[in-house]
Structure 1
């Protein structure tokens, strides 16, 4: 890196040696010497360099004039490093007036002191009309070398702006972001996300402000100047723009941006078309696998109940006669919450049907809940979903609010592109109607039908919250995002406050404060139903069928227990030694009471 030494017409060899010595101490690069002469000096090669060593000799005013010129060219910024050597008898604070040494300057002054010490200090001012502030940052002695002081980070030690008055410009007043208090003339931001960020910056930087409302701004026909908020900053009629201004290439030619404060996501909104429900909706609550499991459920329940009953009948645990068709019918009846015909007598059968009934209740409830959700929130068939499909619908118009960057995305798109075709055919087909000034007018067009609105999602969310609920639920989006881009605060070109603002915003982002403020002001959006409904599948119902299987196994275990208990508790049957084949044998336990009484 080349270092430029600026000096007067002087033959003081000692001063030149000191200058070179300081150059080496400060770690500057190779030296290029320029003898200052207003007649022969060209500014272009000087501005191409990034490091300057200047010997300020008050016996000649050309150095001071050179520094004034450098300030007017915004060379006292973070992009240029300066080391200015002062004479020992010069009071620097008396000579700094007129120099644009703002909070972003990288200028270090070096002045000889008594005892051979060189004192290095920096000086800056919060703004025009404010006195300069001085801070010693290091010292150099031939015996000990350079010693730096612990002065902290640059923008931490310069963040006190001492009540500097900022002229603030903002675009359309956005509820929840840049609301203005119209009852006062200064400090007149009221509330919102961007307002909260600005007020935190005010607390940390110690300044005052006045905000003026205008439009966001669009590029004028000369392709250079802007109107609205961007135009105010371009002409330096404002110090800063506080609003979520979308970062675009065209705007960056006229203004500078801070680090992003949020990301704007854009959607196409339209009036919800009328919907018609079809019979196949009744099959959609369950997927194909789960419907197969339901059929298997009926078969397994019928088979299990039939086998339990057969075993119980052979073990003389029940006298009821049950057919296979009866069991199958009751299994189906339990699934649709209808009463059956069976009256189980054994504990094992009752336990089985207990598990069957509860499984059926849960399946039926799940089916009913999803079916109701389908029938009440069914997604309509949209006429289009993106710009390509919009071109196939010449009967539709696209609405874009004026003075928004979204217009630039379409209007300045390459000729023949999809975006340019949409602009020409669907926006400019009726510009007086399709480019309203206010958001309310744009929403009214959407509610009329055949008009789609391209707008930031959060802007539409605010509009929906402010309109009647019955109208809000008539508006849906197409389900896709377009032109997602960061938004930030804005400042004029070469603003000395840009890096200071970025420093504060970066600290807020790193600490999580920016995210907390964004969550505070995020509003719940009115969303259309998703294309994928919460239909339960085998994964969601596996435990349910597992419980049914456990119930079947437990029922079988109880059946075995019942049979063993009955078998052990019943007396043995006795058969007479000689018995006529025509006589019916009755077991002892089944013989009738013949009326004998105990004595």
Structure 2
């Protein structure tokens, strides 16, 4: 670190005269820091550090730390840090060549440059298919009340058609009804009109035909509106509604898991910063961490790619930095990238900056240069180059119906078969009842014939003169013949 007269010269010239500086970084996000083969760094933060090196004329060597080593408090200590923060705290490095989130706890042991970008933690989930919508795709174009309205309309037209035909027969008794005098036939014809099918019996009078044509006109309107809405329902995917929309509602879920990158700032804040806090935000973070994240060991992931993979696999919420997560989402195939949804809430919003040693004399020089980078548009160019690529969902694929989309057809088919079986069983039952009744009647007549053959001749003569239609000869009507003639 320059001191004395050298520091005064630096303050005037901002030229470090090739002063050797030691950097420290992590190899986590290559768009923030990319380590080149020639020993230089690139990426959003890497390009800023390289520009600062050229602006202030210092040399730079760096050390890469393994893993997600941004820095956290060592367990069992009060304020000893690991990772890049620990390297700066112990003066083994002058600055970071990777991004470092600005937090109050870190600011107590290191110094930051002014923020170079603002990031937030957000919730990322995969849109779930609405299977109920798919299963009922062919019923969803119209509301249930509309189905009932159409049914009532067609029944009303059938009743009116019967009225017209019977009124015509009453006024013109010599004219034929044309087969539509019964309500059952008229209803069948109107249903055929609704289904755009013909029927054997058609109205012959102009008045009845107008009613019949009105039924066809209703069917045209229903078909066109139904078909247009059905196409939109099948072509436009409507994801299922999520049971939560923010971090607090997520903390109340029992059927969803959540997680973040291991040692992420979300974990550090939930387990350390907010450990004993009663602030509302901390209470929510603690509840999410203890009740949701720690529910399963696999909820913490080792990379953003792994987190997004878990999101796509099922009911899992990834808590990640907005710009970082979107960077990896853009690398997914379009059909998968478009399934990942970013919820509206922002959490742990703060800046990322270049970390320096505590009370570093380089801070004011770097801050002055970073401000000029913004004023000249260099910062915005770097943002556009590394961080601002938008992901689009115009994948241009053809929407095709799957087996789930037409499941309603198979459901109706099964219901139709079931109803057919019920009606067949009913018809067989009715037929068996009728057959038994006829059999009993025949048996009674046979019994009467046998009885006649066993009676005296006089009784047979009298019985022969009686008509079979007489009530007292029928079973259950009047006095039995055995009582009349005393035959026991």
TM class by shorter chain equals 0.5 to 0.7
The structure where strand makes up a greater share of residues is: 1
Query: 2:345 maps to what in 1?
Result: 480
Query: 2:93 maps to what in 1?
Result: 238
Structure 2 Cα separation of the partners of residues 209 and 373 of structure 1: 60
Query: 2:378 maps to what in 1?
Result: 513
Query: Residue 479 and residue 376 in structure 1: after superposition, are their counterparts in 2 closer, same or farther (change >3 A)?
Result: farther
- For the pair 1:203 / 2:58, whether they are aligned, the reply is no
Instruction: Output aligned runs, 1:239-258, within 5 Å.
Output: 239-258=94-113
Query: Residue 484 and residue 527 in structure 1: after superposition, are their counterparts in 2 closer, same or farther (change >3 A)?
Result: farther
Structure 2 Cα separation of the partners of residues 377 and 102 of structure 1: 66
SS at match of 1:216: coil
- Residue by residue, what CA displacement relative to the aligned partner does 1:127-154 show, whole Å, maximum 9, x if unpaired? xxxxxxxxxxxxxxxxxxxxxxxxxxx5
- Residue by residue, what CA displacement relative to the aligned partner does 1:430-480 show, whole Å, maximum 9, x if unpaired? 3x4222233233233223323211001111122223334443333222232
Structure 1: state its 5+ residue gaps: 1-73, 75-97, 104-122, 127-153, 285-327, 339-363, 530-599
1:423 pairs, out of 289, 297, 314, with 289
Structure 1 Cα separation of the partners of residues 283 and 254 of structure 2: 17
Query: What's the offset of the Cα at 1:180?
Result: 1.2
Query: Residue 369 and residue 204 in structure 1: after superposition, are their counterparts in 2 closer, same or farther (change >3 A)?
Result: farther
Query: What's the offset of the Cα at 1:373?
Result: 9.3
Query: 1:118 maps to what in 2?
Result: none
Query: 2:84 maps to what in 1?
Result: 229
Structure 2: state its 5+ residue gaps: 144-213, 395-488
Query: What's the offset of the Cα at 1:370?
Result: 13
Structure 1 Cα separation of the partners of residues 304 and 88 of structure 2: 24
Structure 2 Cα separation of the partners of residues 255 and 482 of structure 1: 23
SS at match of 1:211: strand
Query: 2:185 maps to what in 1?
Result: none
Query: Residue 102 and residue 266 in structure 1: after superposition, are their counterparts in 2 closer, same or farther (change >3 A)?
Result: farther
Query: 2:208 maps to what in 1?
Result: none
Query: 1:359 maps to what in 2?
Result: none
Structure 2 Cα separation of the partners of residues 199 and 274 of structure 1: 47
Q: Tell me the TM-score normalised to structure 2 length.
A: 0.56
Structure 1 Cα separation of the partners of residues 366 and 342 of structure 2: 36
**Does the CA contact (< 8 Å) of 1:508 and 1:514 recur in 2?**
yes
Query: 2:322 maps to what in 1?
Result: 457
Query: What's the offset of the Cα at 1:262?
Result: 0.5
Structure 2 Cα separation of the partners of residues 406 and 525 of structure 1: 25
The structure where helix makes up a greater share of residues is: 2
Structure 1 Cα separation of the partners of residues 350 and 318 of structure 2: 18
Query: What's the offset of the Cα at 1:401?
Result: 0.8
Question: Aligned-residue CA RMSD in angstroms?
Answer: 3.7
Q: Which has the higher contact order (CA 8 A, sep 6+)?
A: 2
Query: 1:405 maps to what in 2?
Result: 265
Structure 1 Cα separation of the partners of residues 230 and 114 of structure 2: 45
Structure 1 Cα separation of the partners of residues 237 and 310 of structure 2: 24
- For the pair 1:180 / 2:31, whether they are aligned, the reply is no
1:219 pairs, out of 68, 73, 81, with 73
**Does the CA contact (< 8 Å) of 1:399 and 1:427 recur in 2?**
yes
Q: Tell me the TM-score normalised to structure 1 length.
A: 0.46
Instruction: Output aligned runs, 1:110-149, within 5 Å.
Output: 123-124=8-9
SS at match of 2:63: strand
Structure 1 Cα separation of the partners of residues 233 and 98 of structure 2: 40
